[in-house]
Structure 1
Amino acid sequence: MGSGRASPDRAQTAELARATAAATLPNRRTFLRDLGYKEAETPDERLVDAIVAHGPAKEIVHRVQGHLDAGADHVSLHLLTATPNTPPARQWEQLAAHLLV
């Protein structure tokens, strides 16, 4: 097993996911409570990992495939970047290369 510490890239993506989750949680608290999250007020690691696929492209592809395997007929993706006003074309291209195989 690893050291328990996240890699710098993983830590950065987790922090971005956590910040985004915190910003969107007010609109989703009831939904999250219905899914069993008792305190959807604070985006802890468990909650962030449940609602935001983050990390390397292969991990995101694995999460998308999990939804499809569970019966979803589509999966909506929103690419998060540290620079929200910059079009994430390069990131979409990288992710698409893994998803469209």
Structure 2
Amino acid sequence: ALVNFYDDAARMGMHQDKDEKSAEPVVSLSIGDTCRFRFGNTADRGRPYTDIELCSGDVVVFGGPSRFAYHGVPKIYPGTADPGTGLASGRLNITLRVTGLS
């Protein structure tokens, strides 16, 4: 598991998760502030892409051909986290991946 904290001003540019030696799905859990999640194509960082809002507790699974799609977070919406998360602001992302390493 990879755990990252992003403050409410953070951004994540379009990128692919392709460091692993495995094509198994990637599972991503968002906790805290709502963000705009940009899900693109597998060829490059440009269009076409789709923007969706990820709220606290949302899970995204990248599997099959979408496993290597470009994706990013161009915006976090400050102050949108449920107080029950324990986060005053910002966003936690927990990503689960099979590395393919022995």
**TM bucket normalised to smaller:** under 0.3
User: Which structure shows the higher strand fraction?
Assistant: 2
Kindly indicate whether structure 1 or structure 2 has the higher relative contact order, using CA contacts under 8 Å at least 6 residues apart: 2
Higher helix proportion: 1
TM-score, structure 2 as length reference: 0.25
Q: Which has the larger radius of gyration?
A: 1
